[in-house]
Amino acid sequence: MKATAVKSAKPSSHWAQINEVSFVSGMRILFFLYRCCGRWPFRLALYPVLLWFVASNRRARNASAQYLQLARQRNPQVPTGLPGVLRHFASFAESILDKMLLWGGQFKLDQVTVHGHPPLLENIAQGRGGLLICTHLGNLELCRVMSGRCPGLKMTVLVHTKHAQAFNRMLAHLNPGSELNLLQVTEMSPATAIMLAEKVAQGEFVVIAGDRIPVSPHPRVAWAGFLGRPAPFPVGPFILASLLQCPAFLLFSRRTANGADLTFEPFRDSIVLPRKNRARLLDELAADYAARLEHHCLQAPLQWFNFYDFWALPATNDLPAND
C-alpha cells in the first residue's frame, strides 16, 4: 500500500497549539541568569519548570514516549518509558540555553563542526540563492554559525508563529550583526512567493521546516514512512522550491559531547512539478526527506523536538485563530 493512501485513525492536537517559547522576556531573564551565574544556576531555575511541564502536560509526555518507543525499535540504545521522557525533555531544556547563547553570540563557534557545506559555498560564490529544508532536530539557530563564517550568506527563516517579530527584536538586541531573519508565514500568498523569489534571485537562502505541517484546516501533505509508521509531511517546501526554481538543501544539526555538528546535504538541484504525476513526485520527495530525517534522528534521538502526535493529522478545531 502506498504511504499516501494511509490516513490517520484519529485526529491529534496541532503542533501550533504547543507554545514552546511563549514569553520572550522570560527567556531574556534566563539568559541574564546564565551570564551572571553560569550554566548550573540556569539549570536550577529551568529544570523545576521543566519537571512541572512534564508532569502536567500529558499530551506532550505521551507524544515523547510514543516517539522514543518507535525509535527504540531501530536503535536499541534509545531510552524509553518515563526515564526516557525525562531525558528527552532535559535535552530540550539544554537546547533552550544553547539557543540563547547563539542569539547572544556566546556560543563557542570553534566547537561547531560543519559537514557537507562545499556545494552551499559554491552556490554562494556564484551568487545563487536556494532553499534550506530544516528540521526540529537540534538547534536551527546553528545556521548563524554559517552566517558568521560566510559574510555573504543571508537567510530568511519562515515560521508559522506569531512570535516572529518579537524574536527579530530579541535577535537585534542580543546580536545586532545577526543575518538571520524570521518571517511569519501562515499561508503562502502570491505576494510572499514573489518576495521570496526576489530574495533568492539576490543570492539569499530561504529556510523552511520540513517536519511540521502548515497551520491550516486542510493542510497539503504527503504520507511517508517514518520510524516504521506512515506520517504526514508538508509538501510546501517542495512546491516552494519548484516556484523559486532554485536548488534545495537539507539542514540537520545536533549537539555533541564536544560542541555541535551542522550538516548540509544536497537534496535536489532543481524541483519540477508538472501537473502530470505531480502527486507521485511529491510522494517521492517526502519519502526521500523522511528517510534522511529518520537517519539523523537515530543518530541523536533525544534531540528531535516535536512534542505532539507526529503520525496523526490534527483536528480542525485545534487550530489557533489567525488574529
Residue 177 is classified by DSSP as: T
Give the Cβ contact number of residue 228 at 10 Å.
11
Written in H, E and C, the secondary structure of 190-235 is: HHHHHHHHHHHHCCCEEEEECCCCCCCCCCCEEEEEECCEEEEEEC
Contacts of 315 (CB under 8 A, 6+ apart): 11, 12, 13, 14
Q: How far apart are CA 79 and CA 72, in angstroms?
A: 7
Q: Kindly state whether residue 9 falls inside one of the protein's structural domains.
A: no
What is the number of domains present in the chain? 1
Summarize the confidence of residues 190-206 as an average pLDDT: 88
The helix (run of H) or strand (run of E) holding residue 184 is: strand 180-184
Q: Kindly state whether residue 260 falls inside one of the protein's structural domains.
A: yes
pLDDT for 235 equals: 94
All cell numbers assigned to 265: 546535504
pLDDT for 149 equals: 65
pLDDT for 35 equals: 77
Domain residue limits at 157: 15-313
Nearest to 52 by CA among 86, 87, 88: 86
Which string of DSSP letters, residue by residue, matches 57-107?
-HHHHHHHHHHHHHHHTT-TTS--HHHHHHHHHHHHHHHHHHHHHHHTT-S
Give the Cβ contact number of residue 209 at 10 Å.
21
pLDDT for 223 equals: 96
Q: How far apart are CA 132 and CA 266, in angstroms?
A: 9
Q: Kindly state whether residue 139 falls inside one of the protein's structural domains.
A: yes
Q: How far apart are CA 33 and CA 25, in angstroms?
A: 13
115: which strand partners?
263
Q: Kindly state whether residue 2 falls inside one of the protein's structural domains.
A: no
Name the percent of the chain lying above pLDDT 70: 75
CATH code for the domain in which residue 112 is found: 3.40.1130
Q: How far apart are CA 92 and CA 268, in angstroms?
A: 31
Q: Kindly state whether residue 145 falls inside one of the protein's structural domains.
A: yes
**SS3 state at 186:** coil
Summarize the confidence of residues 52-70 as an average pLDDT: 91
**Per-range mean pLDDT, top range of 19-23, 140-144, 304-308, 310-314:** 304-308
> Which pLDDT tens digit goes with each residue over 244-288?
999 999 999 998 888 889 899 999 999 999 988 999 999 999 999
pLDDT for 170 equals: 63
Q: What is the CA radius of gyration of the chain?
A: 19
pLDDT band at 20 (very low <50, low <70, confident <90, very high): very low
25 or 278, which is more confident?
Answer: 278
Is 174's pLDDT higher than 70?
A: no
Is 43's pLDDT higher than 90?
A: no
CA dihedral 182, 186, 192, 196 (to 10 degrees): 40
Is 169's pLDDT higher than 90?
A: no
Is 127's pLDDT higher than 70?
A: yes
pLDDT band at 42 (very low <50, low <70, confident <90, very high): confident
Summarize the confidence of residues 130-147 as an average pLDDT: 82
pLDDT for 319 equals: 43
Summarize the confidence of residues 192-204 as an average pLDDT: 89
- Which one-letter amino acid corresponds to residue 35? R
The CA-atom distances, in angstroms, between 101 and each of 106, 253, 292 are 5, 16, 28
Question: Which is it for strands 248-256 and 130-134: parallel, antiparallel or unpaired?
Answer: parallel
pLDDT for 15 equals: 39
Q: Kindly state whether residue 6 falls inside one of the protein's structural domains.
A: no
Q: How far apart are CA 176 and CA 154, in angstroms?
A: 14
- Whole-number average pLDDT of the chain: 80
pLDDT band at 113 (very low <50, low <70, confident <90, very high): confident
Summarize the confidence of residues 108-131 as an average pLDDT: 86
Q: Kindly state whether residue 4 falls inside one of the protein's structural domains.
A: no
CA neighbours closer than 13 Å in the CB half-sphere of residue 280: 4
236 or 108, which is more confident?
Answer: 236
